[in-house]
């Protein structure tokens, strides 16, 4: 998760105003999950990068606290959910899947499980890398073009899709990621 | 197909024995296309005494999404195909099933490459990291896998919608053996 991907999430939340139960598929990094959870609590949310004592900190800002805050449900190995299996429980009102799908050996299965765990009409915010160095070895399998990402979600309608450059350390590839919004039919 | 990919293929043929006698080897080129470089592949193979060469592709009436009918092959080539199939798990299985036991399969896929394709014929869906290519052929023996920087530089500026990084572009080359 990078500052740019969190800014894209903020833009998604401001545009679509999701509510209810929000699933964060692969929501695993403690810092990332905390920031996402905070973002859900504000109207017109934004995020700013800052350095405090040489540590990167993402500062969440919003115009006002929401009256009804969506509930946040991280679904990941770390909290006992195997996304290769059907996701149990009540379907979710919206979903977030940030930089998850490149790390699964079976992206078609995981994408189907994600689709099936959402209510009809639910929105799904997805980010995946298109150009990015291999990371988290072992377990970094794929990169996706916009067409590839759409192919993983045949039960969903694509509402938006774009490719953006991300910040790249000098010695690494020029990082590029896809940001897309799908809606369960 | 680029100059680099053709040179890489020659290097492969120089370094790996495909069988006891090259003239007996039956070669399948999965996704080969006469208009997209297969003539060069055929010529290179003939320099090594390999003349039994079959293209299995839409252009020759084969749909690789279905099990491939007919004979099985002693050596398979699959160059820059898998990024263009909507389900690479199905196509890789059909390719594997179409090879004889012990056969080598030479696979190239892009790793960093602009989005390309012909919207009327085929799309461009995926890029593959080493873990991904291994996953697609996980029931074959991995013989070798390496990256290759391509000397290809587009003649014209790549359109914005191709989302290209700056060259050099990169490919992944994998060699697998049917067990």
**In chain B, pLDDT over 70 holds for what percent of residues?**
96
Interface size, chain A vs chain B, as Cβ–Cβ contacts under 8 Å: 61
Could you tell me if residue B24 is inside a domain?
A: no
* pLDDT recorded at residue B159: 67
| Phi, psi values for residue B106, rounded to 5° | -105, 115
Are B163 and A163 within 8 A, CB to CB?
Answer: yes
Mean pLDDT of chain A: 92
pLDDT in tens, A10-26: 999 999 999 999 999 99
Parent domain of B170? 3-16+34-177
User: How many CB atoms sit inside 10 A of residue A45's CB?
Assistant: 22
Are A147 and B123 within 8 A, CB to CB?
Answer: yes
Give the strand pairing for A92-98 and A118-131: parallel
What CATH number is associated with residue B85?
A: 3.40.50.150
pLDDT in tens, B138-173: 999 999 999 999 988 877 776 666 666 777 899 999
Are A146 and B166 within 8 A, CB to CB?
Answer: no
Which residue of chain B comes nearest to A177, CA vs CA?
B163
**Chain A residues whose beta carbon lies within 8 Å of the beta carbon of residue B129:** 102, 134, 140-143
Lowest mean pLDDT among A49-63, B54-68, B131-145: A49-63
Which residue of chain A comes nearest to B129, CA vs CA?
A141
Distances (CA, A) of B139 to B132, B133, B151: 13, 12, 33
Which residue of chain B comes nearest to A174, CA vs CA?
B165
Kindly list the structural domains of chain A, giving each domain's residue range(s) and its CATH number in brackets, ordered by start: 3-184 (3.40.50.150)
Mean pLDDT of chain B: 92
pLDDT in tens, B76-106: 999 999 999 999 999 999 999 999 999 999 9
ipTM higher than threshold 0.90: yes
pLDDT-based confidence at residue A38 (cuts at 50, 70, 90): very high
**Chain A residues whose beta carbon lies within 8 Å of the beta carbon of residue B132:** 141-142
Are B129 and A134 within 8 A, CB to CB?
Answer: yes
- Candidates B157, B178, B153; CA nearest to B168 is B153
Number of domains observed in the structure of chain B:
1
Closest Cβ–Cβ partner in B126, B165, B166 for A142: B126
Could you tell me if residue B95 is inside a domain?
A: yes
Residues A21-33, mean pLDDT to the nearest whole number: 87
Residues B20-28, mean pLDDT to the nearest whole number: 93
Are B129 and A143 within 8 A, CB to CB?
Answer: yes
Long-range Cβ contacts of A106-114 (<8 Å, 24+ apart): A107/A141, A107/A142, A107/A152, A108/A152, A108/B87, A108/B89, A109/A84, A110/A25, A110/A83, A110/A84, A111/A152, A111/A153, A112/A155, A113/A83, A113/A84, A113/A85, A113/A86, A113/A87, A114/A23, A114/A25, A114/A83, A114/A87, A114/A153
Could you tell me if residue B21 is inside a domain?
A: no
Could you tell me if residue B51 is inside a domain?
A: yes
Rg (CA), chain A: 16
pLDDT-based confidence at residue A173 (cuts at 50, 70, 90): confident
Q: pTM here?
A: 0.93
């Amino acid at each position: 998760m990078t500052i740019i991907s969190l800014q894209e999430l903020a833009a998604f939340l401001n545009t679509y105003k999701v509510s209810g139960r929000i699933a964060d598929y692969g929501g695993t990094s403690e810092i990332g999950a905390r920031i996402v959870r905070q973002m859900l609590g504000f109207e017109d949310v934004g995020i700013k990068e800052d350095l405090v004592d040489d540590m990167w900190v993402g500062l969440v800002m919003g115009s006002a606290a929401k009256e009804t805050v969506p509930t946040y449900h991280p679904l990941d190995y770390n909290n006992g959910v195997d996304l290769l299996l059907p996701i149990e429980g009540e379907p979710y009102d919206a979903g977030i899947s940030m930089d998850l799908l490149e790390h699964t050996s079976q992206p078609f299965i995981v994408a189907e499980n994600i689709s099936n765990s959402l209510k009809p009409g639910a929105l799904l915010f997805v980010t995946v890398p298109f150009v990015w160095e291999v990371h988290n070895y072992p377990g970094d399998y794929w990169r996706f073009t916009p067409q590839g990402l759409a192919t993983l979600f045949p039960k969903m309608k694509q509402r938006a899709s774009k490719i953006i450059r991300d910040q790249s350390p000098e010695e690494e590839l020029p990082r590029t990621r896809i940001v897309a919004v799908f809606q369960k039919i | 197909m680029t100059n680099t990919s053709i040179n890489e293929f020659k290097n492969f043929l120089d370094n790996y024995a495909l069988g006891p006698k090259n003239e007996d080897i039956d070669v399948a080129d999965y996704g080969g296309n006469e208009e997209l470089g297969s003539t060069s592949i055929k010529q290179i193979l003939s320099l090594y005494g390999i003349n039994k060469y079959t293209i299995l592709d839409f252009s020759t009436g084969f749909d690789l999404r279905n099990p491939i009918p007919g004979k099985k092959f002693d050596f398979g080539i699959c160059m820059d195909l898998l990024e263009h199939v909507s389900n690479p798990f199905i196509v890789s299985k059909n390719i594997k099933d179409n090879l004889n036991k012990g056969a080598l399969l030479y696979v190239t896929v892009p790793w960093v490459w602009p989005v390309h394709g012909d919207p009327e014929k085929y799309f461009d869906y995926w890029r593959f990291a080493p873990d991904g290519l291994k996953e697609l052929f996980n029931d074959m023996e991995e013989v070798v896998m390496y990256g290759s920087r391509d000397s290809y530089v587009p003649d014209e500026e790549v359109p914005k919608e191709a989302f290209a990084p700056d060259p050099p572009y990169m490919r992944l080359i994998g060699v697998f053996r049917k067990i």
